[in-house]
Homo-oligomer: A and B are copies of this chain.
Amino acid sequence: MKIGEIAKRTGLKIETVRFYEAEGLVPAPIRSGGNYRLYDRSHLDRLSFIKRSRDLGFTLDQVRALLRLSDDPRGSCAEADQIAAVHIAEIDRKLADLTALRSEIAQWGDTCNASIVAECKVIDALSH
């Protein structure tokens, strides 16, 4: 598999695949005679794991830790639990923040209906 195909299959961009390699998240694949990267199934699995983790909002550092854990199937699950718990707490905090934000802005009303800035509710709300 060349990089274009693995990118398509994982849903990553080509540049991102190379970036993950440079970051050490995936092992460097072998190269073809023309210096093209050639991927196999294990790369596909690993890149899919990363993509899915990123989609769920884990940071690359968290992904790194999760990959390290998944590389050792007989290791303890506790750390994975911990990472997930921290992440859920983070999501809940962001949700609370955004909800508060949303309701604060909602108070501005649907539209301002003023014609000039001097009477604009949006600008006014930001000024005090």
Contact = CB atoms under 8 A, between A and B. Distances in A.
Interface of A: 45, 49, 52-53, 56-57, 66, 69-70, 72-77, 80-81, 83-85, 87-88, 91-92, 94-95, 98-99, 101-102, 104-106, 108, 111-112, 114-120, 122-123, 126-127
Given A84-B105, A127-B70, A112 B77 contact: yes
Contacts of A95: 95, 98-99, 102
Quickly give the copy total for this chain: 2
Contacts of A66: 122-123, 126
B76 A115 contact: yes
Contacts of A122: 66, 77, 80-81, 83-84
